[in-house]
Chain A
């Protein structure tokens, strides 16, 4: 922990008094001394928390949950009836979307169901996608939609993709709209903002697995629970973006609203929201991406769809089939994202020149309706013919096999090098740190960077982790994420710099980053297990691959937004390219890169639960096994520990970034 914290903290302390300069080297020295200390030199309670000191929260939470579901009532009806009623309501839009896209309109349940109308046939859906793409944005989007949907049909992913599409559409809509409302409430009432803030932090840092089980208990087994979990995970960015975007609406617009005599509601919906729409769409994009991110996890509790296809393929060791289903998730993500962006730009451009496009859309809709009717009469038309199906799966399987047979010893050498020289020593170091010292250092860092308040927050959270009795698992977590984030930054920052300098490189990295963020990591995790075996190294690769995206994005963004005049000035003063990079671009982009570091860390933490699937022994494993053992309390406590690590890192890094920004005169 101290390694990660000391770095951002050090520069912030530098311009201060001389004792401040000495502080962090001293801390580092003491840390090393403590780690090197022979066994027995430290009091036993500092090395391993005595059992009597543990909080023992987990059983209490489990007992509370049991009480809530079995005995608690609101008087007229029980808590359970209440949550089930919510589940029933949420199921309505989901069933409707599924009826249109996947199951068709049916009456009755189970095998008794009678199909009244088929789902929308594949060719009609492709036509609809193309027309909608054209209407919303133009030819380019139309082509993209056509190709993407055809991929789903040709590679046999149609059935799964439509189930996933239905649930992602509904959960994204609910998440985006709910987030918007919550954000607006936060803007209007300070108290709401204060109450919601910490909850958002938790929702963004807590692993999904930790609250899956409570969801199952509250909302019953099945797609609705999965959807609620998805919304909890995907909504926070929308709330945050809404708050920022609405606050950023220019004062002129508000004045105009007042002058034209708008009511409060009119001001919000006719003035503020439309003005902030482009910024709000960033939030919508995040909601869609995050919803697709948990497709696999949601499929574990009954959401079905592509996530389930990926899981079953990998259980059969059919890597190629898993990859194809995984890529289908990526395709869906890209289509939805581009479509949403097209909608936003369309709204910006206004109605000009859209009447022709709208006509095309109506024509296409009529065509789709006709095709649908045709499929209702001749059901064989509705499904994509089996014989036209392509699959690259055998090729991928063969590729992995070939790599395995040909390069195994080289790969093994790389792995052993990393393990023996980096992973194992860092792990030993982290596990040897006495917990009181870590808590003290974290508190100190909080104090130096943000004063008493921050010190109290970070210190108490560290103490909670220690007292939860999960300290070793937490340290393994910090070690895995720490090394993962360091590597991700080492790889991501140079790529980001390159992307900022070169438009072609930027295009390539954009596609790569999109793919990495939406391709379910489980898909590449299993081939990596074949090549690198179960263990920390495989987990590390997965973490780096997933977490490298923000490192690239934020660096590229930070560098490209530097005022050209500053770079120009450097050139005029005779800077070489290297000097310009090291002396001008990098320092000026540093606050932005620190934000990227922050995001990288968050993604690394969110990856933990996935890496638990390849056998790491960290907090992620605690959360995962709690799910498997149906132990609500254990899962939530371990989840809180993960969340607290995330929040501590976030607060410290933000404070450091803020200070640096001030010092660089960036406001």
Chain B
């Protein structure tokens, strides 16, 4: 026991000694209250959040990771129970974030540099059964190649959980695709189906988002719909179908960072670092693959990266 206490003390001394030696310019954190960084349930986000958290720790901030639901977290952030959310996808949570910002208590801290892609995706072997892919026009002709007994002769498109929105029913209508939209309840269910189909080389077309491990593990492509424009979702006259909205791809959009409005005043230094944080799709994809495909631990992957990219995170801290 006693020895343990001494060890802690000496560790502290060594740490502060290093601190003095290596970075004399480092400012003391403004508050030692823990900054609560939210963790969600997909690997990429776990890595992003931990990269930010570990960086803040290096600057002496007190960081606590908190498990929180992706959408429910805004309720916690408004009241200051939670402080930082590192991945708010324009494609899935922009509305929730904007609503929270409007009600007060939450602020958009800018883009992470990662771009969210969410759209219809098919495995490569489907190109044989449906020549012409990835162009969306090909789907018109070979809907039956994607059909199952419950939907035949219509094709079956596996959409995301209902809560993800995405206007797929409308898209199918507007583009005249002979598909039935089936909603998965969770993305665990969605990727279970993908794995099952991929193993059997069975027909499948589904909603996949990136950055994610699935498009890294499985070979395939996103369907090329007419690219998204704001007008497509607002003006029926836009695009191939003059009478309907949603006759285009889903919007691709930035992944934002969000924070409690109090962060700026309570931990100004940390706020600057959060604002400065950037990452790319490829980088996060490679790190996520190390976890999901090679079975490494998130903590280890992050520690490795931190060791190898000191200049990057020091840059975020403004050192």
Q: Point out residues on A near B: beta carbons under 8 Å.
A: 108-112, 114-117, 213, 216-217, 220-222, 299-304, 308, 311-312, 314-317, 319, 373, 376-377, 379, 401, 404-405, 408, 412, 416, 419-420, 424, 525-527, 529-531, 533-535, 611-617, 621, 624-625, 627-630
Contacts and interface: CB of A to CB of B under 8 A. Distances in A.
B319 interface: no
Given A376-B1, A526-B188, A617 B196 contact: no
Given A408-B200, A615-B184, A420 B193 contact: no
B71 A416 contact: no
**Among A303, A420, A629, residue most surrounded by chain B Cβ atoms (within 10 Å):** A629
Given A110-B34, A222-B81, A615-B189, 4 more contacts: A111-B64, A216-B75, A221-B81, A314-B188
B192 A222 contact: no
B191 A317 contact: yes
Interface stretch (B19-27, B35-43, B135-143, B231-239): B35-43
A535 B186 contact: no
Given A109-B64, A404-B199, A317 B192 contact: yes
Nearest to A615: B185
Interface in B14-66: 32-36, 41-43, 57, 61-64, 66
B70 to A, nearest CB: 8
Contact of A614 (B32, B75, B189): B189
Interface stretch (B124-132, B158-166, B221-229, B266-274): B158-166
Contact of A316 (B43, B182, B184): B43
A227 to B, nearest CB: 14
Contact of B4 (A379, A416, A424): A379
B1 A420 contact: no
B102 interface: no
Given A221-B81, A221-B82, A534 B189 contact: yes
Contact of A377 (B1, B8, B75): B1
Given A220-B81, A301-B72, A408-B200, A621 B188 contact: no
A404 B213 CA distance: 22
A113 to B, nearest CB: 8
Contact of A115 (B8, B79, B184): B8
Contacts of B101: none
B148 A533 contact: yes
**Among B73, B148, B196, residue most surrounded by chain A Cβ atoms (within 10 Å):** B196
Given A302-B67, A615-B182, A628 B163 contact: yes
Contacts of A213: 72, 75
B49 to A, nearest CB: 14
Given A112-B62, A220-B76, A630 B43 contact: no
Nearest to B56: A111
Main secondary structure of the interface of A (DSSP, over half): helix
Contacts of A419: 149-150
Nearest to B63: A111
B183 interface: yes
Contacts of A617: 162, 183
B67 A308 contact: yes
B190 interface: yes
A629 B74 CA distance: 10
Contacts of B69: 300-301, 627-628
A116 B71 CA distance: 36
Nearest to B194: A317
B284 to A, nearest CB: 16
B81 A613 contact: no
A222 B73 CA distance: 10
Contact of B196 (A108, A531, A616): A531
Contacts of A300: 69
A630 B69 CA distance: 10
A621 B3 CA distance: 55
B7 to A, nearest CB: 9
B4 A527 contact: no
A629 B3 contact: no
Contact of A530 (B57, B196, B292): B196
Interface string B195-210: 1100110100000000
A347 B135 CA distance: 74
18 contacts: A110-B63, A111-B61, A213-B72, A221-B75, A302-B66, A302-B68, A316-B213, A317-B195, A405-B200, A527-B192, A529-B196, A530-B193, A530-B195, A613-B185, A614-B185, A617-B183, A628-B163, A630-B74
B61 to A, nearest CB: 8
B187 interface: yes
Contact of B5 (A116, A319, A612, A615): A116
B272 to A, nearest CB: 19
Contacts of B36: 110
Contact of B192 (A112, A526, A616): A526
A300 B41 CA distance: 9
Nearest to A622: B162
Contact of B34 (A109, A376, A625): A109
A563 to B, nearest CB: 48
Nearest to A314: B188
B263 interface: no
A389 B61 CA distance: 35
Given A535-B150, A630-B96, A117 B196 contact: no
Contact of A317 (B34, B75, B162, B188): B188
B144 to A, nearest CB: 17
